[in-house]
Structure 1
Amino acid sequence: MSLDETYRGYLKTFCKIGGYIVSIGLLGFFFVFVGYVIIQLHQFIPLSPNNELKCSRFGDGSEDGERLLNEYLINRTTINGNETKLKTKTCWDIRKRRYFPIFLPNRIEFPYHVYFIRLVTKDYNFVEQTLSMLFSPQHFYCLPIDTRANENFEEKIRNFGLCMLNVVVPSGKFDGTNPIEVFAAHRACVDAMPNYKWRHMVILQEHEIPLQSIQVINKNISRLGQNTRIGSNVITRGFIENFNHHETDHNSTLSMTDYLKETLQQWWHLKLKPFFLSRNFYEKFHVFIKKEMTRKDFDDQQVVVRDTTNSTCLSEEFDEAQNCILGMENYQEIIKSNELFTRANPRFDLGFVDCIHELVFNRTFSRWIQ
C-alpha cells in the first residue's frame, strides 16, 4: 500500500469520526433547543389546568346535568392532607405543574400594583393552586407560615418562595389564632419588600379563592383609590387623613379609635370578606394596632354566634367563623356572581376548587389565546 493510500485511509476515517461528532453535536443542540422552546412556551403561552371534570355540566338545569351532580355529591373529590409525595424539590417541578408566567403582554396587565398576603397553615397543593389563579408577574405575594403548620408543609412553602421571584415567605412563624401576631405577619411581609411600591395590600383568609380574573380583581381594587375596605366597611380617605385616635368620624357617633376598633373586631370574628388596606393608611394602621389594640380587645368583642340551622348554605359546610364553604352544588350559581373571592376547602370538595380554577383560567386567558 502506498503512502498516499495510507493517508487517504486515515483522512477518510478522520472525516467519518468527525461526521459522527458533528451529528451527535447537532442532535444534542436540537434536543436542547426543543427543551428551551418547550420551557418558553410554558412561560408565555398559557397552559390550561388539567381538569377531567365536566364542570359546566354540573347542575346546568338539564336532566343529565342533575344526574352528574347527584352522582358527584355522593362521592366528592377531596384531599386527605397527605402531600408528602408531591414533587417540590426543584423549581421545575413547580413550574411544570402550574402556570406561573414570568411575562404577560401589556394588554393583559393592569398597571396597579397589589400585595396579596395569606397566612398559610396546611394543604400545600391548594396554596400553590390558588396562587396560580391570582398570579401576575407585576404583583407580589406573601405567604407567612402559621405556627400550626408541620415541618413538611413549611419546607415546601419556603422552597416555593425561593423558586418564585415575586413570592415572599417571611422568616419565623406566626400564631394565626392571635390577631396581634397575624397583623405582625403582615408587617413582616412589608418589611421583607421595602422597595415594592404596592398601592393596596389584600389580606386573604386561607380558604378564600378568586372568582374573577386577576385583571378584573386588579381594576376593582384600583377603584378604591386611597380608601381602605375592611370586610364590608369602607374607611374613607378623609377618615384616614384626619385619623388621630381622638376625633369623631362624621359618619359615626363613635370616636375614630372606637370606630376602627369595632370594625376590626367584626372583621376578625366574622371574616366575611378580604381586607383591602391602602398604602396611605398602612403606617397609621400599624401604629394604631401596636398602641391601641391588644388580644383582649378582640377576645372581649361580643359577637353574635350565627345560627346555621336554617341557613341557605347548600353545601351545609361551614368554616370556624360559620361562613359557608361552597361545593359543587353551588357552582352554577357562583359563576354568575360579581364577587371577587369566595370560600372553598379542598378537604371538603377539591373538585369544586378545580372547577373554579378552570373558570378563572378561562376568564383570565381565553380571549388572548383564541
Structure 2
Amino acid sequence: MFPLAFARNVYKDYLFIEAELATIYAPQNSYCYSIDSDADERFKSRMHALSNCFDNVFIAPKEFSLNSDGHDMDMAHLACLEILRKDKSWKYVALLQNHDTVIKTNAELVQIYTWFNGSNDVGTCQMTPNLYDTTLDWSFRGSKLFKN
C-alpha cells in the first residue's frame, strides 16, 4: 500500500469540493481542508459535515483570510500539514487550491510518486513585486545556501 495525503485550501463551491473528493477518494489516503475565514457559513457547515463522514478527512481548526494574491495560502496549507503529519503513513502530500482538479487516478499517482523515489516536484512562477523585497538578491549565490 502507498497512502497519499491531500491538503486543499477551500472557500466556495461545496458541490465541486465534494465531487472532487468522491473522484479521488481512497480509504488509505488522508485529506485535509483549510477553510477561508471569509467563506459563507453554509459552506463551512457543509465542509465540517463532510469531514464527519470519514475518519480520514479533516478540517484545519484555524481559518485564514485567503485571497488571490496568495496571502496566508502557505499558512493554511501548513495548518493542514500539522494535522496530516500526525498520521505518518502517507508517502507524499499534494497541496491544492479550491478548484484544482486531480487528473490522475490513485494508481497513476502512486506510480508517479514511486518514480520520484522520495524527491519533490515543486512548481515556481514569477512573483509580483509587491509580495517580496525587491532590494534583496534572490539568486542562488545571494541566498548563501552554498559555501562556494
Normalised to the residue count of structure 2, the TM-score between the two structures is 0.77
* CA-to-aligned-CA distance 1:13-57 (integer Å, 9 cap, x gap): xxxxxxxxxxxxxxxxxxxxxxxxxxxxxxxxxxxxxxxxxxxxx
* Aligned match of 2:51: 161
* 2:72 aligns with one of 164, 168, 181: 181
CA contact (8 A) 1:117 1:141 kept: yes
- Structure with the greater relative contact order (CA < 8 A, sep ≥ 6): 1 or 2? 2
- Structure number with the higher strand fraction is 2
Residues 116 and 204, structure 1, Cα contact 8 Å, conserved in 2: yes
| Displacement over 6 Å in runs of 4+ | none
1:297 paired with 2:132, answer yes
Structure 2 equivalent of residue 206 of structure 1: 98
Deviations 1:184-203 (A, max 9, x none): 11221122234312221101
Q: CA 1:114–1:204 in structure 2 vs 1: closer, same or farther (change >3 Å)?
A: same
SS of the residue 2:6 aligns to: strand
- Pair 226,171 (structure 1): closer, same or farther in 2 beyond 3 Å: same
- Structure 1: which 5+ runs fail to align? 1-110, 232-262, 270-294, 301-370
Where structure 2 has 5 or more consecutive residues not aligned to the other structure, the ranges are 135-148
Q: Deviations over 1:267-289 (max 9, x none)?
A: 777xxxxxxxxxxxxxxxxxxxx
Cα distance in 2 between the residues matched to 1:132 and 1:220: 21
Q: Report the TM-score when normalising by structure 1.
A: 0.33
CA distance in 2, matches of 1:209, 1:162: 23
> 2: CA distance between counterparts of 1:119 and 1:223?
27
Counterpart of 2:132 in structure 1: which amino acid? D
Distance 2:49 2:127 in 1: 30
Aligned residues: 131
CA contact (8 A) 2:35 2:64 kept: yes
RMSD: 2.2
Query: Is residue 171 from structure 1 mapped to residue 70 from structure 2 by the alignment?
Result: no
Which residues in structure 2 correspond to 1:327-338 (within 5 Å)?
Answer: none
Q: 1:157 to 1:134 in 2, by over 3 A?
A: same
